[in-house]
Amino acid sequence: MSHDTSSDVSGAQDLPMDYSDYLHLPEVLGAQNPLSGDHHEMLFIVQHQAMELWMRLALHELTEAQRLLSVDEVRPAFKGLARVSRVMEQLVHAWDVLSTLTPTEYDKFRPYLATGSGFQSWQYRCIEFALGNKAVHTLRVHEGRPHEQDVLAAYGRPSLYDESLRLLSRRGFDIPESHLTRDWKREYAASEAVEAAWREVYRDPEKHWDLYELGEELTDLETAFRVWRFRHVTTVERIIGFKPGTGGTSGVGYLRKQLDIILFPELWAMRTGL
């Protein structure tokens, strides 16, 4: 029996709803509550809340892209991956605004953060896990917190790259069994066989066009993520120098180490041998 969607649309248009209701603006705009009374604290709060909203969308798209790749719906996954790359660009530009905060201005309200830190962002952690950075030490900060189970679930799932390699295997490429059925909680280890598979894709893009495009979407995504990380560490150094982070990390020292992490190593390594 067919369903007449036109009646649903007309019914929805009759609902007593306006712009503010639909976006829940009273709740959203009522969520900025500076503690210090300092004028500049509002910038810090708004910027980080906006970043969490963009991360909400990034997670939404990454989760769907992983699902699509797992069922061989490769081309539909491209839209979401491209959207996440654009989200990363928005996150990069967020640092442009925060960098207008001077060390003197930040010091006036920093004590009110206490031990609060962006390191505790459960959404960011889930994004890292979805992209394959399964650093076990990062789990500790989420223990006993409201979204601990979300973080643990993301930690135990195959990453976006894992799903990409399983797709390559289903297409007939020689991906080692160690990279198809491994413990997804362990950090990824690069493989010469995986590098050779990607090289084969790139040497004949017409034959493997959707996989070739997938490789480029993944490369775009990691490129955008690298830029975000670089702007993060630069902004933090600009505002607090080498002071320890409020969440207990070494601050800039810790963030600089993150710049060395390569999420999709074979996609970068194979370019030298093309």
**Is the pLDDT confidence value at 3 over 90?**
no
Taking each helix axis from N to C end, the angle separating 148-156 and 122-130, rounded to the nearest 10 degrees, works out to 10
Distance CA 136, CA 186 (A): 8
Distance CA 132, CA 261 (A): 10
Per the listing, tokens 């939404």 go with 60
262 CB-side CA count, 13 A: 9
Q: Which two tokens stand for residue 271?
A: 């370019």
Q: Give the pLDDT confidence of 166-178 residue by residue, as tens digits.
A: 999 999 999 999 9
Q: Give the pLDDT confidence of 168-226 residue by residue, as tens digits.
A: 999 999 999 999 999 999 999 999 999 999 999 999 999 999 999 999 999 999 999 99
**Is the pLDDT confidence value at 8 over 70?**
no
**Is the pLDDT confidence value at 156 over 90?**
yes
CA proximity to 52, closest of 136, 121, 135: 121
Q: Which two tokens stand for residue 240?
A: 């607090």
User: What does each C-alpha distance from 6 to 10, 11, 14, 15, 153 come to in angstroms?
Assistant: 6, 9, 13, 15, 39
State mean pLDDT over 117-146.
94
pLDDT at 116: 87
CA proximity to 135, closest of 119, 146, 147: 119
Q: Give the pLDDT confidence of 10-20 residue by residue, as tens digits.
A: 556 666 789 99
Residue 99 binned pLDDT confidence (cut-offs 50, 70, 90): very high
Distance CA 131, CA 242 (A): 28
